[in-house]
Amino acid sequence: MYVIVAGGGKVGANVARSLLRLGHEVTLIEQRRDRFDRLEEEFEHQVQRGDATELHTLERAGIARPPDIVLALTGDDEDNMVICQIAKEKYAAPKVIARVNDPRNQAHFDLLGISPTICATSSIMALVEHEVPEHDLIHLLELRKENLEIVEVLIDRDSPSAGKRVEGLALPEGARLISVMREGKAEIAVGSTMLEPGDQVLAILEPGKEDELRKVLLHR
Amino acid sequence: MKALVIGCGRVGSSIALQLQQEGWEVTVVDENEDALSRLGDHWPGLFLVGHGMDVDLLREAGIEDADAVVVSTDGDNTNLVIGQVAQKRFAINCVVVRVLDPARADFYAARGMRTVCPTKTAIDTLTEAVRACEIPIPTKASA
């Protein structure tokens, strides 16, 4: 397949090298002169110098063919968003992948319909949540299109929700309990379900409601 | 009428001052607090320091009640993204975006964005100024 990689930093250069090793055709685009000179020694004609948000740079790299996929991997989120929009909407590139540098910009990528995205910070944070056992609210699944997420909460002895029925909890608006796992058996959470210490509770909620949910279930 | 101006350089500050003189209630956002000095000694409006990509800052700057948003930072792509956030997320009808690159300005204009390209204006004006000199062009000899 043919791939355009925008951004020749560590991420872009390593991705381009890996794709080339797999036998794919790649054009790497790098704007900075010093970086380009170093890349040219390795990638030769497969790297081009230019601003990948400029139409003529992309055209020189063969965007009009169009490539099978465009990877926007620069260190600038706004540049990555514009590259993806131009590739998809002007040149009908069938697929794009965008790198998110600042996780706070994720919402902007989503708003502009740019998907899939990859954010190193978010991936590391998700791993931290999985790896560090004392973390009390674990993100299991992000349903980005639906603007919902599924989290797991462990009820302990000090939790204010222990010993209460689900219908008696003042759950925040935009949050519902899905299921309760007790001694290896899961049950769908209904109004009459009683929460007990040791329960692993799955909840579905709008992102941003975690603290409110944590307060009701764990009082922290 | 409320206007929000994002990017207070030479262009943004002049637009802010102009609109304010015409009776608009203008709020200005810039990354650099020194940019406030471009608005003169007695800027009556709000001035916030921060990045226009920051949605919380935009809310603080009153984007939800804004009748017009002018995006004029020194980065084309930053302007294009902030402009779309104002249009799509905050449903602002009048969003004006400065884009120096004519090609990108045309592309986003075709997608329904009010882009203004000073480069294109300069090209047209300068070309017209040359024409106005009325220097006769010798007719090419026909083959």
- Please report whether residue B137 resides in a domain: no
Q: Inter-chain contact B75–A78, Cβ cutoff 8 Å?
A: yes
* Residue A13 and residue A85 in one domain: yes
* Residue A159 and residue A209 in one domain: yes
How many domains, chain A?
2
Please, what sign has the CA dihedral across residues B29, B30, B33, B38?
negative
Burial classification of residue A73, based on how many CB atoms lie within 10 Å of its CB (0-12 exposed, 13-18 middle, 19 or more buried): buried
- Please report whether residue B139 resides in a domain: no
- Give residue-wise pLDDT tens across range B72-105: 999 999 999 999 999 999 999 999 999 999 999 9
Nearest to A53 among B54, B77, B84 (CB): B77
Is residue A115 within 8 A of residue A143, CB to CB? The reply is no
Host domain of residue A33: 2-122
- Please report whether residue B128 resides in a domain: no
- Give residue-wise pLDDT tens across range B58-80: 999 999 999 999 999 999 999 99
Q: Inter-chain contact A111–B54, Cβ cutoff 8 Å?
A: no
- Please report whether residue A128 resides in a domain: no
Q: Which residue of A has its CA nearest to B75?
A: A78
* Residue A98 and residue A186 in one domain: no
Computed over its alpha carbons, how large is the radius of gyration of chain B? Answer: 19
A109, A113, A114, A116 alpha-carbon torsion, rounded to 10°: 110
For residue B52, name the pLDDT band (cuts at 50, 70, 90).
very high
Residue A41 has pLDDT above 90, yes or no: yes
* CATH number of the domain that residue B79 is part of: 3.40.50.720
C-alpha distances out from residue B96 to A10, A101, B24, Å: 36, 27, 16
For residue A208, name the pLDDT band (cuts at 50, 70, 90).
confident
Q: Check residue A2 and give left, alpha or beta (phi > 0: left; psi -120 to 50: alpha).
A: beta
Host domain of residue B25: 2-117
Q: Which residue of A has its CA nearest to B85?
A: A108
Burial classification of residue B56, based on how many CB atoms lie within 10 Å of its CB (0-12 exposed, 13-18 middle, 19 or more buried): exposed
Compute the distance between CA of residue B71 and CA of residue B86 in angstroms, rounded to an integer: 9
* CATH number of the domain that residue A179 is part of: 3.30.70.1450
Cα A46–Cα A48–Cα A49 angle in degrees, nearest 5: 155
- Please report whether residue A61 resides in a domain: yes
* Residue A15 and residue A53 in one domain: yes
- Please report whether residue A87 resides in a domain: yes
Question: Given the structure tokens 């919402």, which residue do they identify?
Answer: A107
pTM over 0.90: no
Instruction: Tell me which DSSP letter residue B142 carries.
Output: P
- Please report whether residue B142 resides in a domain: no
B77/chain A closest Cα distance in angstroms: 5
A128 residue type, one letter = V
B39/chain A closest Cα distance in angstroms: 27
* Residue A54 and residue A146 in one domain: no
Q: How many A/B residue pairs have CB atoms within 8 Å?
A: 46
Compute the distance between CA of residue A180 and CA of residue A167 in angstroms, rounded to an integer: 14
Residue A181 has pLDDT above 80, yes or no: yes
- Please report whether residue A127 resides in a domain: no
- Please report whether residue A129 resides in a domain: no
For residue B142, name the pLDDT band (cuts at 50, 70, 90).
low
Question: Given the structure tokens 């003042």, which residue do they identify?
Answer: A170
Compute the distance between CA of residue A73 and CA of residue A6 in angstroms, rounded to an integer: 6
Question: Given the structure tokens 């931290």, which residue do they identify?
Answer: A128
Q: Inter-chain contact A81–B55, Cβ cutoff 8 Å?
A: no
- In terms of pLDDT, which residue wins out, B143 or A183? A183
* Residue A20 and residue A110 in one domain: yes
* CATH number of the domain that residue A55 is part of: 3.40.50.720
How many domains, chain B?
1
A184/chain B closest Cα distance in angstroms: 43
A6/chain B closest Cα distance in angstroms: 15
